[in-house]
Amino acid sequence: MKNYELLCTLGPSSMNTRVIKQLENLNASIFRINLSHTKISEVESTIKFIQDRTSIPVCLDTEGAQVRTADNFPKEIRLVENSMIRLSRDYVLGSATEINLHPRKIVEKIELGDFINIDFNSALGQVVKKDIDGAILRIINGGTVGKNKAVTIQRAISLPPLTEKDIAAIAIGLKMGVRHYALSFANTAADVEYLRSMIGSNAFLISKIESLHGLNNLAQIGAASDALLIDRGDLSREVPIEQIPSTQKMITEQANKIGVKLYVATNLLESMIDKPFPTRAEVNDIYTTLSNGADGLVLAAETAIGKYPAECAKMISNVIGEYQKDLSHPNDEFILSTPKWLIEPHGGTLLQQYANSEELEELDEAMSITVDSSVMSDCITISNGTFSPLTGFMDRETLRSVLEENLLPAGIVWTMPVLLPVSSTIAKNLSVGQTVQLISDNGQVAIIKLSDIFQYDIDILANGWFGTSSKKHPGVERVMELGNYFLAGAIKMATKVSAINNPYNMTPEQCRFVFSHKGWRHIVGFHTRNVPHRAHEYIMQKALEQTNADGLFINPVFGVKKSGDFLSAAIMKSYQVLFESGAYEEGQAVFGSLSTYSRYAGPREAVFTALIRKNMGCDYFIVGRDHTGVGDFYGSDSSQRLFDELGDIGITPIYFDTIGFDHKTKRYAPLGSSHEIETISGTRFREALISGKMVPEWLVRPEIQEVLLSELDRGRKIFYE
């Protein structure tokens, strides 16, 4: 399938590490430096800044044979209809009565009667007087004009193909290894050959078609170039705007016939300079441009000065994806699917398993088993795809494979046993192939089709699962209490679980919907079972910086935990305070809970929780020291070692050492980096809350402490007992 290119212009909005990395992740193919808006003194440092941060090639886009307003305007100028304005040859500070053009000597070539458009048709004037110092324009159509804006003289005036500034910039570019160059206002093949003689045959030369003269010499210009670029903005100053679509189509056909690449620029996502979403007309324009045969699309102001540079690149990528999808399917086949830019679920498919009407009718004759909230939680998460690719509770062979090899029998990485324990009495009264209802205390119903009924040595299970058989381990204690008989089989929920009891809960399908709606492509997942302290805040922000991800998904566990852990309501209220206090920029983070229970299985659970977030759409996952562990049962780096051992699991772990506060620098940093660092202790915070006391602000935000202390003052519980 054709590989469509995305050329992004870098400017004030995007000339920073974060956006450059975002654009790189969005498959930008070229980063354009517009020399019309870059001082020659800044060219070298600008190239170096980009090259130090990405391997995406830099393209120097020349000023070319172009007339512009000077860059010495103090502000935008309003030209009033029927007023007069002087185009001065001498240097002047721009005003409503006198301005300079660039190059200044161009006024010598202006003649009486010439019509001049200033700033993309904002203002139109006619030369009514000329003298040795300049020319006088009569303003026929008023408008606002700014500095360094395009000027069109409605009569062909010969200009050199490159300015002195272009020549100097090209020399700098060649010295720094730049091999992509764009020739603005390519009027003849000779113009192209002139630039080629400077940059060499191995350089990639883009000729920009933005004048009638260039259109008239299109075939010769294309033959001498590696690519053509239609600048629809400048071209529309010489071609009536209603003819731009047909002109674009003609140029595209010529480029395809000649065999050179064809890029299209200007107004692709103009509305997104100020707004986060495009118009339907813009999206349709991009789609049509691709279908007509363009090889690439160019974002200019959208990424250079717009408020949403990364979002613009995402939108281009999204439309390209939709166009490619449509090429792959018959015209009469309509497919509505989750956008392809999100990471694939684990195993490739997000499974969702709910009983149909026939299966529900058969339940009247099915045997019923009462299960606890943890088992029903597993039923729900299996059915809604959280545990994809699992379809049900594990049989003996699957359990053995997971414990011994960290793999499902199909060869897919999986580290967490998911078991349905029952008493020996129940197990002996069931048979393989039987359909059974699983009913929880609150009336939720799941259906299991039994594929295996088996016993498993409980000590082998505990040691394989938790690395210990000590009952001091809360996970081992739970397994020992449940017994050694297990049922296996595919699970289906009788109904979808309502969010009434937990409106913050988000299924993988819902997560992907939210991320797609926000335009996120790369997401950092954060797992926690505690209220947020400053170390949590630090590693979340650091993870965003390190990955240049689009957003953060804060996904705490809202389920059964061990005594002393925070209750779900306390976690929810604490994060609400964190959001309200401005800890995250608008659009930077999403909060959604995960209805499951903590296993305290250390490294196994660390990988397991990463795979769950992969199913939700996250492609990065924060792994702290002693992640999901308990007590001193696991080494501080055991989770990292297991991730490294398993290799690529489709989601990238972001590792963090234990974070403390450096009292000398007043900053957060890993322990061991300074003698002044003090540990941020969750245990210390819990003890202070129980005593009704506050901890220092550097440990936990005061607003969070006040909320939790207020809950305790009102007699409300905030800890599991």
Indicate if the pLDDT at residue 335 is higher than 70.
Answer: no
Percent of the chain topping pLDDT 90: 57
- Overall average pLDDT of the 417-445 stretch: 92
Of residues 254 and 120, more confidently modeled: 254
Residue 39 in tokens: 């001082």
Segment 604-651, tens digit of pLDDT: 999 999 999 999 999 999 998 777 667 788 887 889 999 999 999 999
CB distance 568 to 604 below 8 Å: no
Give the mean pLDDT of 5-13: 97
One DSSP character per residue, 311-331 reads HHHHHHHHHHHHHHHHHTS-T
* pLDDT per residue as tens digits for the range 513-533: 888 778 788 999 999 888 999
Question: pTM above 0.75?
Answer: no
The candidate with the shortest Cα–Cα distance to 537, out of 522, 551, 526, is: 526
- pLDDT reading at 500 higher than 70: no
**Domains of the chain and any CATH numbers:** 5-64+162-327 (3.20.20.60), 67-153 (2.40.33.10), 357-493 (3.10.400.10), 508-713 (3.40.50.620)
List Cβ neighbours of 33 (8 Å cut-off, separation of 6 or more): 9, 10, 43, 46, 47, 50, 58, 59, 60, 61
Q: Are 524 and 621 in contact (CB under 8 A)?
A: yes
Distance CA 446, CA 495 (A): 8
265-274, 375-384, 448-457, 580-589: which has the minimum mean pLDDT? 580-589
**Banded model confidence at residue 403, pLDDT cuts 50, 70, 90:** very high
Side chain identity at residue 180, one-letter code: H
Closest CA to 188 of 151, 234, 223: 223
What's the length of the chain?
A: 721
Least confident of 101-105, 165-169, 379-383, 665-669: 101-105
- Give me the pLDDT at residue 336, please: 43
47: tokens are 């190239």
Residues pairing with 456 in the sheet: none
Query: Where in 514-644 does DSSP place strands (E)?
Result: 523-528, 551-556, 589-591, 620-623
Q: Does pLDDT of 25 surpass 80?
A: yes
Give pLDDT, residue 333: 46
Query: Which token pair is 144?
Result: 């606002």
Mean pLDDT of 313-322: 90
Partners of 238 in the beta sheet?
none
- Phi/psi at 409 (5° precision): -55, -25
Instruction: Write the CA distances from 476 to 461, 600, 645, 679, integer angstroms.
Output: 9, 9, 24, 29
Coil, strand, or helix at residue 115? strand
Per-residue pLDDT tens over the stretch 532-552: 999 999 999 999 999 989 899
Mean pLDDT, the chain, integer: 89
Sequence-distant (≥ 6) Cβ neighbours of residue 356 within 8 angstroms: none
Please state, in angstroms and rounded to a whole number, the distance separating the CA atoms of residues 303 and 309: 4
The partner residues of 437 in beta bridges, in order of sequence, read 368, 447
Retrieve residue 408's tokens: 């499902």
DSSP string, 454-508: EE--HHHHHHHHHS---TTSHHHHHHHHH-SEEEEEEEEESSPPPSSS-TTB--H
